[in-house]
């Protein structure tokens, strides 16, 4: 017990049956307005797209490296270090505070789950793979392998084994994402500093271990759940690293972007610049910008959703992750509402407990599997209907599943944003008192420990933002689905027919999202 006084101030909320503090869901009038908007906009957008859109392979872009000071900064060897090192220190603080700090009043869960985890999706929306650029785990691995914090390493410390062929996909990352969600929600680690520290250590081990065993950053490319989720979401983001002129790359003999040289390290995810068509596997490390002898690498600003309209090939593992992300984010939202866990058998877990006579964790696992599989199965069913309805025999339900999964991504991304905006803007302020007392020792380093803090945004603003985001994701999904329909079907009529079942799936997904934000929702950090 600490020999001091801790005071904590809270804002308006009420209590759920599960004991967590609850933020009220969007009011009825906004909920019904959202439903009306989704239904009306669906038909208007489809009508507009059918009348006058053309699909082109080019898109508008602006190379930020045309500004010489930006180019100079990015090429400076220690520029990335300036971002990574402070993040690394914060990461160390999370581990230290989680291990040594107070069991309740502690900065570790708030920094991890309320600020970072909730803010990550927002970062991806605007800055793509920016997290990978500043990633503290990558910094730790680099420090260990290169024995220096930045610059080119001639021979990094690694066994240099090739990543197993059977794992050259993102199923491992998908599996880790499912496991993390299960641990996060099933064991309620978001309010536990000790459990948060353990997870941070495990993530650090996952970064250091494979870096010492396998060549380059194979784990980043195939196994990192944060990298792969942000990689898929980053297809929507308005920033990319690409060749300025692909012909220059084709004539390049040295391929320094891939191999590295004295100015830049080899591409950590083994990408060859002219073959980079999507953001997914680029970790934005900017080594290719440093190493390219022809100054032929650009950091482009581009329209949102570009990769989703222009992706080169579909991949089964990516398509599955896109649908799992939709399912898991919706599931995540449901678990924070009263219908998930309240007293009696009216709740989801209550009904499962009564039905199977299982304990809390087993009931949670059954419900998690059930809800996620149900969402995936419904999407698969609609894909079969789409294939039949469109009437082109060589395009099967499985193929429809792969292609249209990319159009589901914005729906998942924007619901994820809507959900996280509640955590970020209604709970993010809890970091202010903890900055002065990160370990809960009764300290007051900056005089903010007892400062009354209010949410960053009012609840009405957050509600409006949530509905705006869900509707935006829905509209973006339709636009991308329309592009995909034209790629999938050469016949315009068949393309239009294929859109109808997918449009129903999207409407159902968006209505589900609206319904979830309409329900009262538990806060992430229950005490603070």
Partner 1 sequence: MSRVLIKYSFLISILLMATASNAHHIRGLPHYAYSENYPQVPVVEERRIADEWEYIFSYIRIFQTNNYDLAVYIKNTKTGKPFKGIVNYKVFGKGENPDIQHAHPTKADPTNTFRVGWSYENDGIYTVRIAFDAGGKSYTEEFKMQVGEVGFNYLWVILPGIVVFTLLLLVVIKRLKEKR
Q: How far is the CB of 15 from partner 1 (least distance, A)?
A: 5
Judged by beta carbon, residue 195 or residue 240, the one nearer partner 1 is 195
Give me the residue label for tokens 């996909």: 169
Judged by beta carbon, residue 340 or residue 415, the one nearer partner 1 is 340
Q: How far is the CB of 115 from partner 1 (least distance, A)?
A: 20
Is 383 exposed, middle or buried, given 0-12, 13-18 or 19+ CB atoms closer than 10 A? buried
Judged by beta carbon, residue 201 or residue 373, the one nearer partner 1 is 201
Q: How far is the CB of 453 from partner 1 (least distance, A)?
A: 11
Q: How far is the CB of 298 from partner 1 (least distance, A)?
A: 36
Judged by beta carbon, residue 192 or residue 386, the one nearer partner 1 is 192
The answer to whether 367 and 44 have CB atoms below 8 angstroms apart is no
What distance in Å separates the CA atoms of residue 155 and residue 152, rounded to the nearest whole number?
Answer: 9
Tokens of 379: 């999407």
* DSSP conformation class of 64: G
What distance in Å separates the CA atoms of residue 482 and residue 55, rounded to the nearest whole number?
Answer: 10
Q: How far is the CB of 521 from partner 1 (least distance, A)?
A: 15
Q: How far is the CB of 341 from partner 1 (least distance, A)?
A: 13
Long-range (24+ apart) CB contacts under 8 A made by 261-265 are 261/152, 261/291, 261/293, 262/152, 263/75, 263/152, 263/290, 263/291, 264/152, 264/288, 264/289, 264/290, 264/291, 264/292, 265/152, 265/153, 265/291
Judged by beta carbon, residue 9 or residue 246, the one nearer partner 1 is 9
Tokens of 238: 């308005």
Q: How far is the CB of 315 from partner 1 (least distance, A)?
A: 31
Judged by beta carbon, residue 147 or residue 373, the one nearer partner 1 is 147
Q: How far is the CB of 139 from partner 1 (least distance, A)?
A: 15
Judged by beta carbon, residue 505 or residue 523, the one nearer partner 1 is 523
The answer to whether 339 and 519 have CB atoms below 8 angstroms apart is yes
- Three-state DSSP class for residue 299: strand
Q: What distance, in Å, lies between the first and last C-alpha atoms of the chain? A: 17
Interacting residue ranges for partner 1, rule: CB under 8 A: 1-15, 19, 21, 99-100, 102-105, 144, 155, 157-159, 192, 194, 197-198, 201-202, 204-205, 208-209, 212-213, 343, 450, 526-527
Judged by beta carbon, residue 196 or residue 372, the one nearer partner 1 is 196
What distance in Å separates the CA atoms of residue 269 and residue 258, rounded to the nearest whole number?
Answer: 9
């Amino acid at each position: 017990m600490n020999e001091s006084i801790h005071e904590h101030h809270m804002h308006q909320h009420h209590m759920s049956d599960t004991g967590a503090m609850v933020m009220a869901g969007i009011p009825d009038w906004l909920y019904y307005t959202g439903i009306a908007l989704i239904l009306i906009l669906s038909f208007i957008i489809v009508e507009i797209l059918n009348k006058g859109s053309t699909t082109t392979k080019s898109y508008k872009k602006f190379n930020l490296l045309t500004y010489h000071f930006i180019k100079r900064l990015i090429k400076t060897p220690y520029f990335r270090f300036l971002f990574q090192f402070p993040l690394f220190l914060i990461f160390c603080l999370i581990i230290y505070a989680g291990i040594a700090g107070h069991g309740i009043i502690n900065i570790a869960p708030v920094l991890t789950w309320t600020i970072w985890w909730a803010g990550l999706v927002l970062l991806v929306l605007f800055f793509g793979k920016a997290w990978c650029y500043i990633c503290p785990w990558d910094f730790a691995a680099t420090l260990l392998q290169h024995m220096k914090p930045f610059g080119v390493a001639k021979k990094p410390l690694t066994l240099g084994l090739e990543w197993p062929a059977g794992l050259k996909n993102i199923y491992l990352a998908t599996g880790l994402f499912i496991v993390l969600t299960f641990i996060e929600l099933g064991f309620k680690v978001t309010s536990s500093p000790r459990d948060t520290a353990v997870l941070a250590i495990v993530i650090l081990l996952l970064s250091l271990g494979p870096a010492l065993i396998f060549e380059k950053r194979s784990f980043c490319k195939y196994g990192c759940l944060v990298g792969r989720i942000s990689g898929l979401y980053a297809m929507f983001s308005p920033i990319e690293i690409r060749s300025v002129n692909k012909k220059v790359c084709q004539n390049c003999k040295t391929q320094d972007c891939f191999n590295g040289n004295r100015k830049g390290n080899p591409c950590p995810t083994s990408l060859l610049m002219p073959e980079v068509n999507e953001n997914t596997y680029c970790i934005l490390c900017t080594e290719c910008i440093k190493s390219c002898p022809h100054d032929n690498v650009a950091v482009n600003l581009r329209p949102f959703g570009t990769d989703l309209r222009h992706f080169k090939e579909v991949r089964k593992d990516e398509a599955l992750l896109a649908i799992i992300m939709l399912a898991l984010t919706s599931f995540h939202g449901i678990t924070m509402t009263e219908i998930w866990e309240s007293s009696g058998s009216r709740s989801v877990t209550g009904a499962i407990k009564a039905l199977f006579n299982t304990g809390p964790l087993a009931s949670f696992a059954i419900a998690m599997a059930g809800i996620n599989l149900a969402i995936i199965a419904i999407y698969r069913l609609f894909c079969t209907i789409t294939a039949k309805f469109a009437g082109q025999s060589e395009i099967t339900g499985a193929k429809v599943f792969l292609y249209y999964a990319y159009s589901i991504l914005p729906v998942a991304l924007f619901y994820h944003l809507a959900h996280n905006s509640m955590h970020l803007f209604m709970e993010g302020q809890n970091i202010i008192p903890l900055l002065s007392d990160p370990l809960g020792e009764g300290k007051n380093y900056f005089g903010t420990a007892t400062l009354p803090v209010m949410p960053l945004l009012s609840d009405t603003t957050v509600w409006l933002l949530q509905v705006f985001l869900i509707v935006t994701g829905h509209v973006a999904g339709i636009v991308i689905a329309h592009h995909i329909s034209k790629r999938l079907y050469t016949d315009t009529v068949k393309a239009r027919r294929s859109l109808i079942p997918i449009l129903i799936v999207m409407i159902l997904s968006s209505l589900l999202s609206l319904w979830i934000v309409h329900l009262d929702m538990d806060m992430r950090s229950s005490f603070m």
